[in-house]
Amino acid sequence: MARKCEICGKKPMVGNHVSHAHNVNKRRFNPNLQSVRALKEGRTKRIVVCTSCIKSGHVVKAP
């Protein structure tokens, strides 16, 4: 499973861990993805979406 929101396409971003001594190491900022049963094209389907899409109402949850 790719770590990508099926609605908005949000993916992991890259940044740095920065220590107090300013040593930097690469790190990833992963999106908060959840698996949800939702209506997609009139059918109930399990999709992987980010929490911001769920909160904003872009996802219609299945009954």
Q: In the prediction, which pLDDT does 63 show?
A: 84
Q: In the prediction, which pLDDT does 11 show?
A: 96
Name the β-bridge partners of 37. Answer: 46
**Distance (Å) of CA 51 to CA 5, 16, 19, 26:** 9, 24, 29, 25
Q: Going by C-beta distance under 8 Å and a sequence separation of 6 or more, which residues neighbour residue 24? A: 16, 17, 18
> Domain range for residue 27?
1-63
Q: Where are the beta strands (DSSP E) in the chain?
A: 13-18, 24-29, 33-40, 43-50
CATH number, domain of 31, equals 2.30.170.40
Q: In the prediction, which pLDDT does 17 show?
A: 98
- Domain tally for the chain? 1
Q: In the prediction, which pLDDT does 25 show?
A: 98
pLDDT digits (tens, 9 = 90+) for 2-57: 799 999 999 999 999 999 999 999 999 999 999 999 998 889 999 999 999 999 99
Q: How far is 40 from 48, CA to CA, in rounded Å?
A: 12
Q: In the prediction, which pLDDT does 48 show?
A: 96
Q: Is the pLDDT assigned to residue 1 strictly greater than 70?
A: no
